[in-house]
Structure 1
Amino acid sequence: MAILYFMPIKSFLAIIYTTVLTISALHMPQPLLPLLSNVFRSEMDVISLIMSATFIPLTFIPIVSGVILNFLSPKRMILFAALAHSIIVFGISITDQLQLAIFLRFLEGFMISMILTSNTTYISLKAKKEKIQFYMSYYIAFTTIGGLLGRVIGSVLATFFGWQACFQVMAVSLLLVIPIVYFFLDDIVSPKQLSNKLPLKELIEIVFEKTNKKIYLSVFCLFFIFTAITNFLPFRIKSLYAESTELTIGFIYSGYITGIAISFIAIKIIKLLGDERKTLLLGLSCYAFFLVMFIIPNLLLIFIVMFGFCSGMFLVHSVSSGYLNKLTTTQKSLVNGAYISIYYSGGVLGSYLPGIIYKNFGWEFFIVCLLIMLFVSIYSSFKLSK
């Protein structure tokens, strides 16, 4: 196994376990949204705040974490955040008030962002420059696995044991992060950067650097669209087939499997096509084709389309993240923090605003609006230097 030659296997496995559990917790409520809407007696656009609230801290806390990680090790950051995350998730399972559940999900977003920024920073510090794309592709693949497991296992637990069981099982699983990280990760800190600039000024320069800004804009649109589809697809399925259960909705997300496979072979696709730019355009073209296919009102077709849709999304995501880290020689924690922040900014808006469009103008117009966003992403990637 190639990983053994570039990073201690125990360290990478600790990062992977932490990532899978963290992403699972983030996305677990998505297939449960129609159920939670009934439980808390709320409208579609209101219950979607369960997801939006968690994405909000992910838009700015990674940047703050990026600054802190210049002084504090990723290991210590993860240990603190994992403990707090477990307590918060358990708190969600015992509340009967929607406002409190949304607030706890908001707090959960802080912990998730701290963990994810620490994970990517740890990889960029431990891996050799020429192997960063390799590790980031694997890392993205396991974030995809986390998204799949969170949604599918969450829907299974909700169907047979109730929605509270989802959060309680997750809370216990998150506690296991603590001993694994404590024993398996090294206590390393980012090299101190000799700079007279304020972190905010450095961040602005990073975000608006010629190549970085194109990648950041592309992934913003990418995740806006992905979150919109995955957040409101359960309501679309319910409108087409009222008898659909949480289990049925959960398995619609099986398309993540191809996203996982694509992330693992992203490096080979780059080599086959010649460079990252061509690979990004291929992924976005695939993304566009399957996005249009969601208009067709057929449950089996929706199930099939998710496989292609996820393939395009995660090819772009894995290549973008790895490409950005490969280009970066300094301030890796800030670069990764900015990437996560901008990526999840798309998630915040995508998890709420398209719901208003869907509710008032219908599914077809909803898809058309997302397609316009996708053209922005395609244009931004097309303008990358050859």
Structure 2
Amino acid sequence: MKKRDLFIIVYCIIIVLSVMYATQPLQPLLAKEFDISITKASQFTAIIMLFLAISPIIYGYILEKVNAKKMLINSSIILFITNIFLGLSSSYEFFLFFRTVEALVVPAILTSLMSILANIDKENIKFNMSIYVASTVFGGLVGRIFSGFIATNFSYQFVFYSLSLAILVSIYFISKLSYEGEATIVKPKINDVTEILKDKRFSTVYILMFCVFFVFAGVLNILPFRVKEISSDVSEFQISLLYLGYGMGILVSLNSRKIIKFFKNEINTVLFALVLFLFITIFLVIKNILILFLLIFLFCLGMFTVHSVSTGLANSMKASQKSLTSGMYLTFYYLGGAFGSYIPSIVYEKFGWNAVIYMFCIILIISMLLLIRRKKLFTHL
């Protein structure tokens, strides 16, 4: 694989993930700007997560095979236009409409990029996939910090205009890609899906990831409002710095093999990470912003350890239908993220931050008990 191609793919992933998460630190500002509730502001992130969850099904039925490069360019052009319109939007309805259009094309771009990365260098698929995961994490980190910095020093509109400029650069880069193959999209058959779900190992991993990402997305989505609640003087840039802990995902995804080796096997690793994740979640009731900042590092360490090990598990339990099992994993993962970005904001609005944290702890304890109960199913891996 040419280094230039790898650079282009990584750049595109970072930009798309930046677009996805750019609204998160801005949510209190957008809520004030459009005079909307916390719940409505949370939809700006939740809508993209929802489409990432259901897109494998939709795209699987519309497109069985499509030229990956062509889909990448066309989808990126739409993303370029929608970001300009997000900056121009003066009402909640317009902003949500353009965000929904983005939600339709983001999965198409990520599917194409993943397909190119998997097919352009088939000998190094595992390494390429770890690069894909690390790039998505880095993109999510850059997008949040960059949007907070620009919104504080210029205006929130400039966040979207500058992202459009970055997308324009990515369109130029994509045209230089040497890959001309097709992106194969899985067409899920109901029988195959039910067969996989009947396997308790798969259903355990899927439920676990739904719950873990529900909690993770919920905390990160309400965090800007919580910080503003503690201190109204906090700027958007200071809010975005709280997401620096997200960078732990890069370290974890590139060192997951060493972590598993240390804990002897995958299930022990997941259980330890779950305990850490739960323990840190309990302490998020603390009202000190600096302590919250430090806790988020450990919080992200727990979540990304569960995620990277579970991804490997979902891909190693069945020799055939790998694309379907990993596609279903992503569906459950992003469904957890979509619901987690929305439902906790309703609880937060009605009952406050502590009630949300207690709800998260109950969800994590239930998923941990489920994993402990079914632990023996994974002994033959």
1:28 aligns with 2:18: no
Change (3 A) 1:84 1:201: farther
The 5-angstrom pairing of residues 166-181 of structure 1 reads: 166-181=159-174
Question: CA offsets per residue over residues 11-58 of structure 1, 9 Å max, x none?
Answer: 333332221111111111111111111110112122212222222212
Find out whether 1:312 has 2:302 as its counterpart.
yes
CA distance in 2, matches of 1:142, 1:192: 22
Distance 1:206 1:69 in 2: 23
Question: Mean Cα displacement is larger for which, 291-300 or 59-68?
Answer: 59-68
Distance 1:206 1:173, change over 3 A: farther
Equivalent in 205, 221, 233 of residue 195 of structure 2 = 205
2:3 equivalent to 1:15? no
Task: Note closer, same or farther for the CA distance 1:93–1:171 as it changes in structure 2 (3 Å cut).
Answer: same
Q: Residue in 2 aligned with 1:287?
A: 277
Partner of 1:184, secondary structure, is coil
The 3 A distance-change label for structure 1 pair 121 and 321 is farther
Aligned counterpart in structure 2 of residue 225 of structure 1, from 212, 215, 221: 215
Q: Partner letter of residue 253 of structure 2?
A: S
Aligned 8 A contact 1:215 1:380 in 2: no
Change (3 A) 1:171 1:115: same
Is the counterpart of residue 216 in structure 1 residue 216 in structure 2?
no
Counting only pairs closer than 5 Å after superposition, residues 121-136 of structure 1 correspond to structure 2 as 121-126=115-120, 128=122, 132-136=125-129
SS at match of 1:30: coil
1:247 is aligned to 2:240? no
Matching residue within 34, 41, 44 for 1:40 = 34
Name whichever of 234-243 and 214-223 sits farther off: 214-223
> 1:357-372 alignment to 2 at 5 Å?
357-372=347-362
Cα distance between partner residues in 2 of 1:308 and 1:185: 40
CA contact (8 A) 1:79 1:182 kept: yes
Q: In structure 2, what is the Cα distance between the partners aligned to 1:381 and 1:225?
A: 17
Change (3 A) 1:176 1:324: farther
4+ long deviations beyond 6 Å = 190-193
Matched-pair contact (CA < 8 Å) for 1:62–1:114: no
Assess, with a 3 A threshold, how the Cα gap between structure 1 residues 321 and 132 changes in structure 2: closer, same or farther.
farther
Deviation, 1:367, is 0.3
Unaligned runs of 5+ in 1: 1-6
Give the deviation of 1:333 after TM superposition: 4.0
1:160 aligns with: 153
1:344 to 313, 322, 334: 334
Distance in 2, Cα, partners of 1:121 & 1:211 = 26
Identity of aligned residues (%): 32
Candidates 34, 45, 52, aligned match of 1:51: 45
Q: Tell me how far apart the structure 2 counterparts of residues 185 and 273 of structure 1 sit (CA, whole Å).
A: 41
Q: Is the 8 A contact 1:56 1:106 kept in 2?
A: no
Q: 1:144 aligns with which of 121, 125, 137?
A: 137
Check conservation: 1:74, 1:187, Cα contact below 8 A.
Answer: yes
Q: Answer whether contact 1:207 1:338 (CA < 8 A) is retained.
A: no
Deviation at 1:209, TM superposition (A): 3.9
Distance in structure 2 (CA, Å) of the matches to 1:191 and 1:26: 24
Contact 1:124 1:325 in 2 (8 A): no
TM-score normalized by the length of structure 2 = 0.90
Is contact 1:287-1:312 (8 Å) kept? yes
State TM-score, norm by structure 1: 0.89
Structure 2 residue 250 is matched with structure 1 residue 264: no
Q: How many aligned positions are there?
A: 376
2:55·2:107 contact (CA, 8 Å) conserved in 1?
yes
The 1:237/1:316 distance shift into structure 2, 3 A limit, reads: same
Q: CA deviation at 1:62?
A: 2.4
Work out whether residues 72 and 109 of structure 2, in 8 Å CA contact, stay in contact via their aligned partners in 1. Answer: yes
User: 1:180 Cα shift?
Assistant: 2.5
Q: Distance in 2 between matches of 1:87 and 1:308?
A: 38
